[in-house]
Structure 1
Amino acid sequence: MVRIFVYEPLSADDPETTAALGRGSPAHQEMLAAGRAMRDAIVHDLARIPGVAATLAVGEQEAGHPWPQVSTASALPGEGAVDFVRRQSPLHDLCWVVAPETDGLLLGLHEAVGEARWIGCSPAAIRLASSKRATCAALAAAGVRTPLAFVAKHDGPWIVKPDDGAGTMETRLHLSRGNAELDLQRRRRAGRTPVMEPFVAGEPLSLALVVGPDLAQALAFNRQHLELDAAGWLHDLGVQAAAIPAADPRAAALHALASRVAAAIPGLRGYVGIDLVWNEREGPVVIEVNPRVTCAYAGLSALLQRNLAADILAAHARDPAPEVAADVAA
């Protein structure tokens, strides 16, 4: 039996992550719901793999609630995410963590687990993808189109956002470059690390990938629903998983893009998300790479009629344990 610990900080009631969003705030409620949806989808998939026993990290409100075929574990009073995961890791064969890159959280959790038990990307890949600036630079160097390609001749709106932000958090559109530069300077004076880039017009999409040592397979092309408010702040209204059919004329370019991104960032493993804009003139323009499970995972196994967790375990394993290799091969 292979024991897998599944951890998502907000649903596990991590005090620091919750406090950063403001307990009970709209941002907290929105991200908590998203975290639970991703967590539950992973656990549901794992529970259907013979020979796998999942342990789910839960918060105080869920502690004691029955989860069919799944064990639960909760943090000690006041115990933070890294300490909790470090305590649980030796009790399991593998750990599957869903957490944002913001403030180094995902990287810190990787360090707590260690490479041998970690399901997901390498520390180097997480570190690179945690910086939007570094990600775009690496992709551009590999010939992948990013907003950097629009800088020289751009005369439209500009985007200012955190370099390590998750989703659309603190992302603002400015109609003029001057206003964007003022926003950039204000954030820097406040001790933040923002980035400023051209706003690329087009349809917001995302790719869901399974990446292994010898493959980068795009599982689904998703449509992202974004909203711009009167003050220019961008809001994430959710994702429509597998919204773009395989017969879409853009599919070949999107499959090729998945392979090029995986080649440009060594160490991507397991589930990886790519956020992009399909521009009518330029085609796909990559905005960022998520080295972790994204919201598109929730419900994707049912839509694709396949167990994504089994695919990810099989693709991720470099030298899989005999039990895992046998269980996920069926």
Structure 2
Amino acid sequence: MLVYEYLSGGGWSDYGDEAAADELLPLGLSMRDAMVADLMHVHDCSVSAATCVPVNTLPARAAPLRPLAGESAFAFVARQSALHDLVWLVAPETDGLLARFQRTVGDARWLGCSAEAITLAAGKQGTLAHLAAHGVPTPLAFEHAPDIARWVVKPDDGAGGVATQVHTSRAAALADQAGRAQAGAAVTLEPWIEGEALSLSLLCSGQNAEMLSVNRQRIAIDAHGRLCFEGVTVDALGRDDPRTRPLAELARQVARAIPGLQGFAGIDLVWHPQRGPVVIEVNPRVTCAYVGLSAALGRNLAAELLASRLHGHHPDRELARGHA
């Protein structure tokens, strides 16, 4: 099985925004290494992983693979996917990267969400409109709310908190949006939803979703309004928290609205003090919350994902020889 994380596998030097690449690379490495570590405990599963960055953190026993000189990320993935039974891949949705990798690998070998789900979730505005049409609460419901004090401008297909700016007036936000659009950037402007920043980790199969955990996102806004993603606390809400049940139902609602969600996926949301959960975006791939999650739950999630993919039923945890 091939594990490929875009930035650490060769995309780091190709990524258009050098500052963004530097910001996202440590997150990419941590996801790749967590995925590989889980797979190493799966019976009869040999693991290869792409590595290209100077620092090699790859767990022992995983076969490291490197692109040929001058080989593009897509050519490398196409060549290696033909040599592996399955490909588990993480890449930003930015510029259609994740969707293009899905098409490169093809459905037969792809472990993850469908091309349609990836394409939909890649556009933040389109995702929110789609979810709102299916009755899912989103920031669109707050556009004319009198108590909105802040507005956020961000790339429509961005990853992490890169190039995300919070403004204290709509006029300033509109000016920021217009300036970026003039420079050719696809950006979205939304009401900033006040409340607790959370994320959901999901195990999706068919049009159903098991909510694995509710995670707390650590987000900071500096003096200039720039948003910084500072990490995630995995499995932060206890099962007896009153928010757990409505969040699990929200996860199922999103899975019904986006049928192609498959395997591991994430939902970013804010718990508004009065209105409850408000979905900000959907991540059709492994997210930072995967890191440490198998250990936290006492389940080998990679084994479950593989079993679900290979046998088409809810995963059998006995595939795992041990916990990651």
Does residue 1:233 correspond to 2:226, yes or no?
A: yes
* Matches for 1:167-178 after TM superposition, within 5 Å: 167-178=160-171
CA RMSD of aligned residues (A): 2.0
Tell me the equivalent position of 2:80: 88
TM-score, normalised to structure 1, is 0.92
Shift of 1:48: 0.3
Tell me the equivalent position of 2:98: 106
Q: Is the 8 A contact 1:86 1:112 kept in 2?
A: yes
Deviations 1:33-74 (A, max 9, x none): 1111000000000010001111110115367x9853321210
1:151 to 124, 130, 143: 143
Shift of 1:16: 5.0
Deviations 1:204-259 (A, max 9, x none): 00000000115310001000000001111100000000011111110001100100
Measure, in 2, the Cα distance between the counterparts of 1:60 and 1:35. Answer: 11
Q: Is the 8 A contact 2:37 2:59 kept in 1?
A: no
How many residue pairs were aligned? 319
Q: Is the 8 A contact 2:299 2:317 kept in 1?
A: no
Tell me the equivalent position of 1:21: 17
Shift of 1:139: 0.7
Q: Is the 8 A contact 1:101 1:165 kept in 2?
A: yes
Gap change, CA 1:316 and 1:285, over 3 Å in 2? farther
1:307 to 293, 300, 306: 300
Which consecutive residues of structure 2, in runs of 5 or more, have no partner in the other structure?
none
Tell me the equivalent position of 1:328: 319
Shift of 1:157: 1.0
Shift of 1:329: 7.9
Deviations 1:89-109 (A, max 9, x none): 110000000111001110111
1:204 to 197, 202, 209: 197
Tell me the equivalent position of 1:71: 63
Tell me the equivalent position of 2:49: 56
Q: Is the 8 A contact 2:304 2:316 kept in 1?
A: no
Gap change, CA 1:66 and 1:303, over 3 Å in 2? closer
Q: Is the 8 A contact 1:277 1:287 kept in 2?
A: yes
Measure, in 2, the Cα distance between the counterparts of 1:42 and 1:117. Answer: 17
Q: Is the 8 A contact 1:173 1:199 kept in 2?
A: yes
Q: Is the 8 A contact 2:33 2:58 kept in 1?
A: no
SS in 1 for 2:185: coil
- The one-letter code matched in structure 2 to 1:308 is L
Query: Which deviates more from structure 2 when the two are superposed, residues 112-121 or residues 75-84?
Result: 75-84
Tell me the equivalent position of 1:5: 2
SS in 2 for 1:91: coil
Measure, in 2, the Cα distance between the counterparts of 1:194 and 1:226. Answer: 20
- The one-letter code matched in structure 1 to 2:28 is G
Tell me the equivalent position of 1:297: 290
Shift of 1:305: 0.9
1:223 to 208, 216, 219: 216
Gap change, CA 1:176 and 1:118, over 3 Å in 2? same
Does residue 1:121 correspond to 2:117, yes or no?
A: no
Gap change, CA 1:184 and 1:214, over 3 Å in 2? closer
Gap change, CA 1:281 and 1:319, over 3 Å in 2? closer
Which consecutive residues of structure 1, in runs of 5 or more, have no partner in the other structure?
none
1:280 to 273, 277, 284: 273
Measure, in 2, the Cα distance between the counterparts of 1:52 and 1:310. Answer: 10
Gap change, CA 1:283 and 1:317, over 3 Å in 2? farther
Measure, in 1, the Cα distance between the counterparts of 2:212 and 2:84. Answer: 28
Measure, in 1, the Cα distance between the counterparts of 2:203 and 2:48. Answer: 23
Identical aligned pairs, as a percentage? 47
Q: Is the 8 A contact 1:279 1:285 kept in 2?
A: yes
- The one-letter code matched in structure 2 to 1:251 is T
Tell me the equivalent position of 1:35: 28
Measure, in 2, the Cα distance between the counterparts of 1:162 and 1:142. Answer: 24
- The one-letter code matched in structure 2 to 1:204 is A
Gap change, CA 1:281 and 1:192, over 3 Å in 2? same
